[in-house]
Amino acid sequence: MRTYRQPGTVLTDHHFSVPLDHGRPDGERIEVFAREVVAAGKADRPDALPWLVFLQGGPGFAAQRPVGKSTWLARALDDYRVLLLDQRGTGRSTPATARSVARRGTAAAQAEYLAHFRADSIVLDCELIRRQLCGERPWSVLGQSFGGFCTVSYLSFAPHGMAEALITGGLPGLGSHAEAVYRLTYGLCADRCAAHYENYPDDIESAQAVARQLATHDVRLPDGSRLTVERFQSIGDMLGGSSGSHELHYLLEDPWDGDGGLSDAFLADIADRTGFARAPLYAVLHESCYAQGTATRWAAHRVRAEFPAFDPAAAVAGEAPLLFTGEMVYPWMVDLDPALLPLRDAAHLLAEREGWPPLYDPTRLAANEVPAAAAVYHDDLYVPAALSLRTAASISGLRTWVTNEWEHEGLRISGGKVLDRLIAMNRGEV
C-alpha cells in the first residue's frame, strides 16, 4: 500500500489478487486496483468511517482520478471512506487492452477470456475485496450507469455484503434483451436530434454538408482510419450530457478548412469522440452487459434497420436532417478502429456467444432487504427511464427519485446534490 496526500484528502493505493474465473478459484489470477480516499481531517481515524465502494460507469472505464474533493467526493467524504475501484481490466488493474488480450492466442481464447469481465465477475471481485478490508461487515455501494447495473447484480447475488445501495442512472431492465434497449434508445436519439436542430437550425445544413463530404470522398482521421458517414453519426452520444447539444453545435459550426475539406481540428475532435483506444472493453463488451442466455448478435446494428430515419442517404441528398446515434456499438467499429482491430474476431465471437449466465435474480430482488435508493433521470439517453422504472417496481424497498433536473452525468456535475439526496432517502430523511 502507498499513501499520499492531495488538497483536503489522504489517498491509499490497494492491490488485490482475484481469480479470473470465480468458478475456478485455484486457476489463473488477475489483479484489481482500488484507491482509498479519506478526508484529511478524518485520516487519523479512518476505521471509524464506513466504507463506500464506487462502481464506475462503462463497461470498460477506470474509476475517476480525483484531485482533492472533486465532484461528488466532497459529499461522500463527509460520511464515508471511499474506495474507487478500477473494475477488472481497467486502469491500474491487470489490463485488458487490445494488445494484452491478443496475446491470449486464438480469437476463441480471447473471447473466452473477455467473457469474464462482466458485472457478475465484478461483483465477486468486490466481495473478495470487501472481506479483506471489512471482514464480515457489509459496506455501502454507489453505482453510476453501468456501475448501477453492477449494483443490481450485487443485490441479486451477494446482498449480505451490502449495507446500502445508491444507484444513479443505472437501473437496468431485468429481463430486457439488448434489442429492447435499443428500440427505446433509437427513439430517444431521434427526439434529442430534433430538439438539437430546433435550437440550432443552421446545424441541419452543416451536418448534411459533412455527411455529403464523407459519402463522396475518402476522408481519413489522424490515425489513418476512414471517417464514414455512419462513424460521424455516432458522435450523437454526446447529446446525452447536459451540455452536449451546445458542444455538438460548436463542433458543427466550423468544420471546414480553407480549401473546402474538413479541417484537421475537426477531424481530431471526431477521432477522439469515436475512437476506442482508451476503452476497448467498452466496445467489445458493451452489448454483452445486456446478455442473459441468448447471443446479442450485434443488436444495435440489427435494430437500426427498424428506424429508417437513421439511414443517412436522405441527409446526404439534402432531403432530411442527419440523425445522430447514441450509445450503440456496431460491427463496423471493430473493422474501422485500429485500436480494436486485434480484437475484431473475438468481438464477433462474443456477439454470437450463447449461454450467458444471468446477471440478475428477480426472485431475490423481490425479497430485497438492503436499503436502496436510485436516481432515475427522466430524459436519460443511455438508460431508458421506462426500463428503469419497471425494474424499480421489482426491487423490494427500493426508493426511486425521478428527476429531469439532471442528465445522465448528474452524479458528477451536481456538486454532490444527487448523492446527498440518495443518502437522505436511504436514511428516511426525505
The catalytic residue among 120, 237, 380, 420 is: 380
Q: Annotate 175-244 with DSSP letters as a single string.
A: S--HHHHHHHHHHHHHHHHHHHHHH-THHHHHHHHHHHHHHHS--B-TTS-B--HHHHHGGGGGGGSTTH
**Residue pair 170/148 in contact by the 8 Å Cβ criterion:** yes
DSSP annotation of 340: T
The set of cell numbers assigned to 57 is 460507469
Q: Annotate 78-111 with DSSP letters as a single string.
A: HH-EEEEEE-TBSTTSSB--HHHHHTT-SHHHHH
- Is residue 380 flagged as an active site residue? yes
Residue matched to cell numbers 449461454: 355
Residue matched to cell numbers 471481485: 125
The catalytic residue among 145, 176, 388, 414 is: 145
Going by C-beta distance under 8 Å and a sequence separation of 6 or more, which residues neighbour residue 298?
287, 330, 331, 351
Long-range pairs for 15-18: beta carbons < 8 A, 24 or more residues apart: 16/125, 16/128, 16/129, 16/132, 18/88, 18/124, 18/125, 18/128, 18/129
The Cβ-side half-sphere exposure at 50, using a 13 Å CA radius, reads 14
The set of cell numbers assigned to 272 is 477522439
From residue 184, give the alpha-carbon distance in Å to each of 177, 179, 181, 245, 270: 12, 9, 5, 20, 26
- Is residue 145 flagged as an active site residue? yes
The catalytic residue among 116, 408, 414, 420 is: 408
For the annotated catalytic residues, the residue numbers are 145, 380, 408
